Amino acid sequence: MEANNGVGVGVYLKQAYMNFTFRLSSLLLGAAMMIWIALVQHSQYRVDADQWSDLTSAIYNAFSRTFFSIGMALFVFPCVFGYFKIINDALGNGLFKILAR
């Protein structure tokens, strides 16, 4: 049996991102996941909000960073493969290079 060094996954993703519908849905799903995580947390800290139970807080704390990371990956993957030039240019702006130092 031949060893698969993860190259198959990269090739599969490259072929999948050649489809415009897949690219756009990945971009929108990633943005929706990141916005949803931010808005759910924001709703907790409103003045008139009910306090979350310990279980709800634990579930949010356990999964929020994972879901945000998956959302960011889905948002950035099309740009890595060279699509959505406007977003790619915005993320490659010199301002981010200054902040990265």
What domain count does the chain have? 1
pLDDT, one tens digit per residue, over 40-56 is 876 666 666 677 788 88
94 versus 4: which is more confidently predicted?
A: 94
pLDDT band at 32; cut points 50, 70, 90? very high
Tokens of 84: 């959505």
Average pLDDT score, the chain: 81
26 in a domain, yes or no? yes
Mean of the pLDDT values across residues 64-81?
Answer: 89
SS (H, E, C) 28-87: HHHHHHHHHHHHHHHHHCCCCCCCCCHHHHHHHHHHHHHHHHHHHHHHHHHHHCCCCHHH
19 in a domain, yes or no? yes
Neighbouring C-alpha atoms within 13 Å toward the C-beta of 65: 3
Using DSSP's 3-state secondary structure scheme, residue 101 falls into coil
- 91 Cβ contact list (under 8 Å, min separation 6): 76, 79
pLDDT band at 4; cut points 50, 70, 90? low
34 in a domain, yes or no? yes
61 in a domain, yes or no? yes
2 in a domain, yes or no? no
What percent of the chain lies above the pLDDT cut of 90? 16
1 in a domain, yes or no? no
Q: Which domain covers residue 64, as residue numbers? A: 7-99
